[in-house]
Homo-oligomer: A and B are copies of this chain.
Amino acid sequence: MDNVNLKKIAETLNISISSVSRALRDSHEIGEKTKQKVRELAEQLNYMPNPYAGSLRKQRTRNIALVVPEVANNFFAMAINGIEAVAQEKGYHVLIYLTHDYLEKEMEIARHLLNGRVDGIIMSLSGETVSTDHLQKLTDKEIPIVFFDRIIETFSGGTVTTDDYDSGYKATEHLIQAGCKDIAYLSISKHLYIAQKRMQGYKDALQKNKIPLRDELIIQCSPDNNKNKELILKLLKSKNRPDGIFASVERLAIASYHACQELKLHIPKKVKIIGFSNLETAALLNPGLSTITQPAFDMGKEAATMLFRKLEKRTTINASEKVEIKSELVARGSTKAS
């Protein structure tokens, strides 16, 4: 950048030329707000950074990627708000990528991100993902990754989760206390760590209450929710119809309501339903849906905070930090004892 432009920025913002220069070098001596103003002005003046000037420093993109399965889900929508709140404070943009719960799409996004488009990544894995091999190259390139909600436990990095085991246990016990004896568990993945935790909570609660586990009541669902409604219809039309449904994710609870509506099965008289969900309309449904409500905003905020600790080198990329924030069981009409 030539001195004329440096001077122009300094005058416009009423700061010294050396401050402008330090801001453009992303120095820690300059506040985030000032840096952002300087960068914006530099952009307006069509300033292109000299690639040699900063050769000893890694060029920052000031972008972080957020890779999530879907956005038509209040959990993710609220988590995004938490992540953006932190990113905005740091002067970063959040680029959102959707996997639609498919591993193939997730792998394609990982390859795309190898190109150095972002400084760091926050991820919630697809239901099909069984390993993190496709993410190794990103870590090799020193792009830090933090997982939230749908994590892989073996990955050495940061994770933010909720108390999935306890929540699975509590939700199941809640159905048992409401009188259910045959409780179906709707799963999105056999492999995902949180899915295993939730299901283990379900199994242990059954055992503790001396209710035999029936394998045919554990339903593996699909990324395609239309197929799930069919699976649930089949389940509800079967001879040994369950009297309780535990939906491990929000859209499975919605599919269950649609199936009951179609079959004219009264909730909660004929079947009681509880689900992990941050649905804004949970209390407005007919009847209100009992939920395990996750601290979505806080989980997003915590994940972003953890990522910036890594970006600012306050922790190393591979530091294995784990944060768990508790969920809340909110009982509504769908699990009312009859």
Whether A111 contacts B281 by the Cβ 8 Å rule is no
- Knowing A72-B74, A111-B40 are in contact, say whether A254-B95 is a contact too (CB < 8 A): no
- Taken together, the copies of this chain in the complex come to 2
Report the bound CA distance from A251 to B77 in whole Å: 14
Report the bound CA distance from A251 to B95 in whole Å: 24
A337 on the B face (CB < 8 A): no
What B residues does A280 contact at CB under 8 A? 72, 251, 254
A217 on the B face (CB < 8 A): no
A164 on the B face (CB < 8 A): no
Whether B72 contacts A254 by the Cβ 8 Å rule is no
A17 on the B face (CB < 8 A): no
Of B72, B76, B98, B111, the residue contacting A84 (CB under 8 A) is B98
Question: Of residues A44, A284, A287, which shows the largest number of chain B Cβ atoms within 10 Å of its Cβ?
Answer: A284
A78 on the B face (CB < 8 A): yes
A96 on the B face (CB < 8 A): yes
- Knowing A43-B111, A97-B93, A112-B93 are in contact, say whether A285-B286 is a contact too (CB < 8 A): yes
What B residues does A249 contact at CB under 8 A? none
What B residues does A258 contact at CB under 8 A? 283-284
Q: Which residue of B lies closest to A283 (CB)?
A: B261
Contact with B along A129-140 (1 / 0, CB 8 A): 000000000000
Contact-size category for A: 35 or more
Within 8 A of B (CB), among A270-305: 279-281, 283-288
What B residues does A100 contact at CB under 8 A? 81, 84
- Knowing A284-B285, A284-B286, A286-B285 are in contact, say whether A96-B93 is a contact too (CB < 8 A): no
A109 on the B face (CB < 8 A): yes
Report the bound CA distance from A73 to B145 in whole Å: 28
Report the bound CA distance from A70 to B287 in whole Å: 27
A71 on the B face (CB < 8 A): yes
Of B72, B78, B84, B287, the residue contacting A77 (CB under 8 A) is B72
Q: Beyond A44-B111, A251-B280, list 20 extra A-B contacts (CB 8 Å).
A: A71-B71, A71-B76, A71-B77, A71-B80, A72-B74, A72-B280, A80-B98, A81-B100, A93-B97, A93-B109, A93-B112, A94-B97, A95-B97, A96-B96, A96-B97, A254-B280, A258-B283, A258-B284, A261-B284, A284-B285
Interface residues of chain A, those whose CB is within 8 Å of chain B, are 40, 43-44, 70-72, 74, 76-78, 80-81, 84, 93-98, 100, 109, 111-112, 114-115, 117, 251, 254, 257-258, 261, 279-281, 283-288
3 tightest CB-CB pairs across the interface, nearest first?
A72-B77, A286-B286, A96-B96
Question: Can you spell out 26 A-B residue pairs with CB atoms less than 8 angstroms apart?
Answer: A43-B114, A44-B111, A70-B77, A71-B77, A72-B77, A80-B98, A93-B109, A94-B97, A95-B95, A95-B96, A96-B96, A96-B97, A251-B280, A254-B281, A257-B281, A258-B283, A258-B284, A261-B284, A281-B281, A281-B284, A284-B285, A284-B286, A285-B285, A285-B286, A286-B287, A286-B288
